């Protein structure tokens, strides 16, 4: 496995472990690459990781190493249109987390998952 792929996988599992702490008080399922996000029944995209409640993706997560621009533009728009409540992008290159929360149909910067950036230092 090359170094970039290893780093991506390692962050994937660390993010899942950190998010499980946040999701433990909700009836949410943490899912890897299985639930697709759709709009009006049409499949649009599958997040790297997500939280699912009653069959609906409520948190979409992308682990980004070389796709930050795409993740913060096109993918963000797809998730917004699909009505995903929270969107998080973990930028492996910058060791930064971009958090967004859907408010009145628009993604606004958020800090709902306070301390989630610790995934890069733990």
What pLDDT is attached to residue 26? 72
Q: Residue 51 above 60 pLDDT?
A: yes
- Average pLDDT score over the chain: 79
State the sign of the Cα–Cα–Cα–Cα dihedral 10, 15, 18, 23: negative
Residue 44 phi/psi, 5-degree rounding, is: -115, -50
Residue found under tokens 């948190």: 59
Tokens representing residue 88 in the block: 């998080």
More reliable by pLDDT, 52 or 2: 52
Closest to 94 in 3D by CA, of 77, 117, 76:
117
Q: Which of the pair, 70 or 3, is modelled with greater confidence?
A: 70
Supply the pLDDT for residue 9.
Answer: 75
The full DSSP string for 21-74 is HHHTTTT-EEEES-PPEEETTEEEE--SEEEEETTEEEEEEEEESS-HHHIIII
- Give kind and range of the element (H or E) at residue 107: strand 106-109
6 touches 85 (CB < 8 A): no
Query: Is residue 3 scored above 90 in pLDDT?
Result: no
Question: How is residue 56 written in tokens?
Answer: 């609906």
Q: Which domains does the chain have, with CATH numbers?
A: 3-117 (3.90.1570.20)
- Looking at residue 98, its pLDDT comes to 93
> For position 43, what pLDDT does the model report?
54
As a whole-number percent, the residues of the chain with pLDDT over 90 amount to 23
pLDDT, tens only, 79-100: 998 899 999 998 888 888 999 9
């Amino acid at each position: 496995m090359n170094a970039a792929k290893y780093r991506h996988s390692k962050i994937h599992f660390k993010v899942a472990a950190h998010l499980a702490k946040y999701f433990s008080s909700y009836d949410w399922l943490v899912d890897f690459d299985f639930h697709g996000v759709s709009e009006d029944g049409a499949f649009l995209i599958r997040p790297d990781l997500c939280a699912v409640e009653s069959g609906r993706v409520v948190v979409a997560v992308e682990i980004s190493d070389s796709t930050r621009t795409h993740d913060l533009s096109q993918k963000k728009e797809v998730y917004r249109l699909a009505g995903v409540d929270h969107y998080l992008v973990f930028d492996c290159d910058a060791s930064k987390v971009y958090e967004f929360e859907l408010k009145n149909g628009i993604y606004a910067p958020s800090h709902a998952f306070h301390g989630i950036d610790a995934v890069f230092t733990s």
